[in-house]
Chains A and B, each alone.
Chain A
Amino acid sequence: MGNYSTNEFRSGLKVMLDGDPCSILDNEFVKPGKGQAFNRVKLRNLKTGRVLEKTFKSGESIEGADVLDMDMQYLYNDGDFWYFMEPDTFEQHQATETAVGDTQLWLKEQDTCMVTLYNGSPLSVTPPIHVELEIVETDPGLRGDTAQGGSKPAQLVTGATVKVPLFLDQGDVIKVDTRTGEYQGRAKD
């Protein structure tokens, strides 16, 4: 990986900071008229997800991070690892529980996810914005209540629990927004 100088800093650039891969979120140029120029940079640590701020002297360079975002198909989970496949090469990657994190609540086999690779191994997994999942458990709704717009918890096939309208039953397939974990509607067949 090459080095990047502060004037190449752009949001989205992946760099190494204190041994961890980070993604630049924001880069502000600060310079007293006669004085030293700085870059006040906001970064997200891609391992921990934490956002940090760091002030660089303009012109300093830091090492780029070997981080690559790639669309992959989710295959299966064997209890220890989650397996993803590159659609072009069929190459498979195994992701640890740390890398998958809460995304596991939205992973349906054969869905396409964005897998962030760091030095070739999955660092994190981003689910599709919308997923369609089956309800495996929910209290039977009282049909008469729908006018009130009430909701009830429903457990989905992946283990996630979302609030759904009362008229939905076990076996129904619903569409969920994975960014908010909210019910979007019934899946159209």
Chain B
Amino acid sequence: MRAELFAYLRTFFAEQSVLEVDPPCLAATTVTDLNIESIKAQMGGASGYLQTSPEFFMKRLLASGLGDIYYLGKAFRDAEQGSRHNPEFTLLEWYRVDYDEYQLMAEVESLVCGAFSRLRNSTPRVARTSYGDCFEKSLQLDPHTASLEVLQATAVNQGYKDWANETRANCLDLLFSEIIEPSLPKGLVFIYDYPACQAALAQTYQDEKGRLVSRRFEAFLDAVELANGYFELRDAQQQNQRFNEDNRLRARAKKPVMATDKHLDRAMQVGLPSCSGVALGVDRLLMQLCGVSSINEVLAFPWERC
């Protein structure tokens, strides 16, 4: 099934004239994300990191003018292990020049539905909804404008009494993971307009209600997170501000502060073309195609047996 899926994915992109690229898994620097830890590697006297995604290398390629590109290969995240996580996993990441996030969502839909019709002879139901609407429906609150106190009180009222002093992003993650995600309908669900505090490297904008939201989306398949995409931030200065903010939060959480990628910064100064990019967990897609609930069932060698 894995081999068939890989063959299908490569054919899908070949037909769309999206070029396969093979960036390094090992690099001198890594991401600054507060909640993503990289695995450290030693080479002689130097140290580096196994990459948590090929994003920075792919953005350097985009800035050099390569056009539409995809990566199908391994990524690594430290201390992520469970029924849906393995520290080494297979990621499909691709970028489309001149696409916005809605065009990219449509492409994710055709890729996922195509995989199901090819390998399972069925297609999932598809739905789209905004992050704000999910919260309105499940918790009757606006996640973009609600005060921190309201979010904390909501977490406490839902039975998470230790969440009274958590950050905005953590309260939102808790409520989303514990209340909203399990209630998502079956099939493929796209959620867009994530909160500005969870923009990562997506552009932000003022929506029709005047709220600052990020042009970030996620795809869920049968209530399991499958893909995360952005209409990509292109402003090098803003990107540096976000990295610095990540590091400020890391320091406050007593996590190591990460050096930023100078090569990426230079590429951003040259200019990233207007594009959207998305990363999709291939093992998660395989789990759904095989109808299994543990990632270990689609890995020949899960970490426990490596």
Interface string of A7-45 (1 = CB under 8 A from B): 100000000000000000000111111111110100000
**Most B Cβ at <10 Å: residue of A7, A33, A37, A57:** A33
Tell me whether B80 is interfacial, beta carbon within 8 Å. Answer: yes
Contacts of B225 in A (CB 8 A): 32-33
Give the distance in Å from the alpha carbon of A59 to the alpha carbon of B166 in the complex: 14
Q: Tell which of B113-121, B169-177, B262-270 binds the partner.
A: B169-177
With the chains together, A48 CA to B82 CA distance in Å?
29
Q: How far is the CA of A142 from the CA of B14 in the complex (A)?
A: 83
* CB pair B79 A7 closer than 8 Å: yes
0 or 1 for each of B153-194: is its CB under 8 Å from A? (1 = yes): 000000010100010011001101110000000000000000
Query: Given the complex of chains A and B, what is the CA–CA distance between A58 and B225 in angstroms?
Result: 18
Whether the pair A38, B174 counts as a contact (CB closer than 8 A) is yes
CA distance A34 to B35 in the complex (A): 6
A36 with B170, Cβ < 8 A, contacts A28-B82, A31-B85 known: yes
Among candidates A28, A31, A55, residue contacting B80 with C-beta atoms closer than 8 Å: A31
Q: List the A side residues contacting B169 at CB < 8 Å.
A: 35-36
Assess whether B170 is in contact with A57, with CB atoms less than 8 Å apart. yes
C-alpha spacing A40/B162, complex, angstroms? 14
A120: min CB distance to chain B, Å: 30
Kindly state the separation between the CA atoms of A7 and B85 in the bound complex, as whole angstroms: 14
Beta-carbon contacts under 8 Å, A45-103 to B: 55-58
CA distance A34 to B53 in the complex (A): 12
Q: B289 CB to closest chain A CB, in angstroms?
A: 20
State the CA gap A57–B83 with chains docked (Å). 17
When chains A and B are docked, how far (Å) is the Cα of A58 from the Cα of B35? Answer: 10
Tell me whether B160 and A55 are in contact (CB under 8 A). yes
One of B35, B162, B279 near A35 (C-beta < 8 A): B35
One of A32, A57, A58 near B176 (C-beta < 8 A): A32
A55 to B158 CA separation, bound complex (whole angstroms): 12
Is there contact, CB below 8 Å, between B160 and A35? Answer: no
Is B290 engaged at the interface, CB distance under 8 Å to the other chain? Answer: no
A32 and B218 CA atoms in complex are apart in Å by 10
Contacts of B279 in A (CB 8 A): 33
B36 touches A34 (CB 8 A): yes
Compute how far the CA of A126 lies from the CA of B225 in the bound complex, rounded to whole angstroms: 42
Tell me the chain A residues, 102-118 only, with Cβ under 8 Å from chain B: none
The distance in angstroms between the C-alpha atoms of A38 and B160, with both chains bound, is 12
- Contacts A55-B160, A55-B174, A57-B170 given; does A34 touch B79 at CB 8 Å: no
* A29 and B170 contact, CB distance less than 8 A: no
Interface centre among A36, A40, A57, A58 (most CB of B within 10 A): A36
Q: Which of B33, B177, B218 has the most CB of A within 10 A?
A: B177
Contact B35 A36 (CB under 8 A): yes
Question: B202 CB to closest chain A CB, in angstroms?
Answer: 10
Bound-state Cα–Cα, A40 to B173, Å: 14
Any A CB within 8 A of the CB of B92: no
With the chains together, A13 CA to B195 CA distance in Å?
38
B247 at the interface (CB under 8 A from A): no
Say how far A136's CB is from chain B's closest CB, in angstroms: 49
From the candidates A28, A36, A56, name the one contacting B173 in the complex (CB within 8 A).
A36
Q: Which residues on A sit within 8 Å (CB–CB) of B173?
A: 32, 35-36, 38
Residues in B lying within 8 Å of A, measured CB to CB: 33, 35-36, 79-85, 160, 162, 166, 169-170, 173-174, 176-178, 198, 200, 218, 225, 228, 279, 281
A residues whose Cβ falls under 8 Å from a Cβ of B: 7, 28-38, 40, 55-58
Can you name 9 A-B pairs with beta carbons within 8 Å?
A: A30-B82, A32-B177, A34-B198, A35-B198, A36-B35, A37-B35, A38-B178, A55-B160, A57-B170
Contacts A7-B79, A31-B82, A38-B178 given; 15 further ones with Cβ under 8 A? A29-B82, A31-B35, A31-B85, A32-B173, A33-B279, A34-B198, A35-B35, A35-B169, A35-B170, A36-B35, A38-B177, A40-B178, A55-B174, A56-B162, A57-B170
